[in-house]
Structure 1
Amino acid sequence: MRGGRGVVAHAVSIRPELEGVPLAEAQHRAEAVVRSCERDGIEIIGYCDPDYPEPLRRIPDPPAVLYARGNVGALRQCGLAVVGTRRASSSGVRIAGAIASHLAERRIAVVSGLALGIDRATHQGALDAGGITVAVLAHGLDTVSPRSHAYLADDIVCHDGALLSEHPPGTPPRPAEFVRRNRIQSGISVGSVVVESGQTGGSIHQARFTARQERLLLTVLKSKQSDDLNQAGAHRIVSELGAIPIRTMTDLDAQLAGIVPLAELVGAADLCEPQEVAVQSRFEL
């Protein structure tokens, strides 16, 4: 148990909803949290712990404590967040999976939020390529939201990935926390790629956190705009937040080249047109 009872007691005591709770009561609650974590195989990582992700320490409001299930070492691996709408199009799902596989083949951890749509495709794409993926959750690690993704959460843990949260076991999903967790997704990553997004929603919040943290912000712009409503968010974050548009894997690699150590980069696939491209294996975009 890396963080120990003291750091958990501190984290519990500073939670806004517990303002004014005596330290002794916080300590009592911390003991319950530690027991729950020990029972469920959840690691507690304090801010000063060597396993605390260094990039996350540098954001304006880092969590005092993290809870992790799975391979804690995955949190130290260079990672890129890939996010997007829950109401993904078929091309968006294909693109997200292809980007995740492309990153995984280059030993870059793939970070997302385990939601429906783009997040699911992102985690699955990384797993299919034999890579490591990290899911950042907005609630305690004793549950999975949506419940239909419990199998995916187990796959992530079983394949050297990790589930991560700032919330202790027993914390239910709350709408505001889904927004706040985006700062952690971007905070543990060198940057974020928004695959599809409407004008509002979690991906816009992710983009704002990424820009605020001065991390690399990319968005997929499809070659054919047509009437795809999921492109509205991409244009918004380009114009308002200065996101860099990408259309090919070569575009992606060019942006990453200066900040992460990449293996030999081959293949210039168009992200937005169905085709097959040779990298280390063949996959369809």
Structure 2
Amino acid sequence: MSSDLLWKLAVQRISFLKTDEKRKVLAYCINSGRMPERKTLVDLIRRDFRSSYKKESILHEAENDLSLMIKQGIFTLSVDDEAYPEKLRSIHNPPFLLYGRGETLLSDVLNISVVGTRKATGLAMEKAFALSFHLARSGAAVTSGLASGTDSAAHSGALAGKGYTLAVFGCGIDRIYPSSSKDLAARILDEGGTLLSEYPPGIPPVRYNFPERNRIVSALSEALVVVESPARSGALITADFALEQGRDVFVLNAASPSPSAGEGTNSLIEDGAVVVESADDVLRELSYSVKSRDRSPVLLSHSGSRATGRFLADRFRAELEEREISREGVYYSL
């Protein structure tokens, strides 16, 4: 492995830097062969910061990350690598570095994100599983967040359909959260899927990581399907990111028996989100056609579905601004 990789791992450990700032610091490290002093770092990013910065500790952590990557077969993609997903690179402040396990990311298939509440009803779980199963059988990839409830049903359905599924973490790539998803994560790897995170090894699943993670879930896909969501749910944050990124947003008709369980998805529908009943509906809305179940979806002519055209993109702005998610120098309010 090149010394450039070690510098990338070190720069990614400076968590308060934006991606463009990390690019500047990486160039300095490669050219000088050392981590910048604090004053030099301030000059490079053109702003002061309050966060702790201990360059010796950061470099030591990066060396440990490199050793772990070799042991566990972890790969990385930096934002300027050719294989970095173009859909993700085009968003505001894309991840500087991605850590992955399993297959490298597929760029030549239709990718659909399927999300919803962790406390999904039985009916919603069944519907999420069936949707993902048929998407996989149609040749589409399924992306979700490995959480309990809807996410797990989506990944499991894609695996049952013998398809490719991608799980995006809200913690380090060496951790599985929740622990109840360990067997599912192992199956994803065993059956040709991918585990992905922007967080260095060892980073715990703290609360503010998940909205950050959700922007990746939405950005990697052509469209987002929300299965079931209460009024205040991470799935609604993902839906808002999807709209900001120009992705299509659908609501799966799960017909929740609990009014509160479907309150969030019902509000999406009221504001114009397109309701879908099946994988075929999703593909049709996206102007994709599947000639046989052994072939990948074929694009007919995609200029945006009714979901994007009808949806009121400002639906959740006020709510998100009230609970702004921020880390020093990085803001995710919309």
TM-score, structure 1 normalization: 0.84
Q: Give distance in 1, aligned partners of 2:135 and 2:53.
A: 45
- What is aligned with 2:9? 8
- What is aligned with 2:116? 84
1:149 and 2:193 are equivalent in the alignment: no
1:236 and 2:267 are equivalent in the alignment: yes
- What is aligned with 1:119? 151
Letter in 2 for 1:61: N
Aligned residue among 33, 40, 45 for 2:65: 33
Q: Give distance in 2, aligned partners of 1:109 and 1:179.
A: 22
Do 2:146 and 2:169's aligned partners in 1 also have CA atoms closer than 8 Å? yes
Q: Give distance in 2, aligned partners of 1:95 and 1:193.
A: 11
1:48 and 2:80 are equivalent in the alignment: yes
Letter in 2 for 1:10: V
Q: Give distance in 1, aligned partners of 2:105 and 2:277.
A: 32
Do 2:228 and 2:256's aligned partners in 1 also have CA atoms closer than 8 Å? no
Q: Give distance in 2, aligned partners of 1:152 and 1:122.
A: 11
SS of corresponding position for 2:70: helix
The more displaced of 225-234 and 14-23 is 14-23
Do 2:121 and 2:256's aligned partners in 1 also have CA atoms closer than 8 Å? no
Q: Give distance in 2, aligned partners of 1:225 and 1:195.
A: 10
Letter in 1 for 2:291: E
Letter in 2 for 1:187: A
SS of corresponding position for 1:135: strand
Unaligned runs of 5+ in 2: 18-48, 294-334
- What is aligned with 2:282? 252
Larger radius of gyration: 2
The more displaced of 13-22 and 137-146 is 13-22
Percent identity, aligned pairs only, is: 33
- What is aligned with 2:209? 177
Unaligned runs of 5+ in 1: 267-285
Question: 1:42-93: CA deviations, max 9, x gaps?
Answer: 1111111122111100111210000000001436643110011111111111
SS of corresponding position for 1:72: coil
Do 2:8 and 2:97's aligned partners in 1 also have CA atoms closer than 8 Å? yes
Q: Give distance in 2, aligned partners of 1:65 and 1:249.
A: 32
Q: Report the alpha carbon displacement of residue 208 of structure 1 after superposing the two structures with TM.
A: 0.9
Do 2:131 and 2:278's aligned partners in 1 also have CA atoms closer than 8 Å? no
SS of corresponding position for 1:74: coil
Letter in 2 for 1:236: S
Q: Report the alpha carbon displacement of residue 226 of structure 1 after superposing the two structures with TM.
A: 5.4
Q: Give distance in 1, aligned partners of 2:166 and 2:243.
A: 21
Q: Give distance in 2, aligned partners of 1:169 and 1:262.
A: 40
- What is aligned with 1:263? 290
Do 2:224 and 2:248's aligned partners in 1 also have CA atoms closer than 8 Å? yes
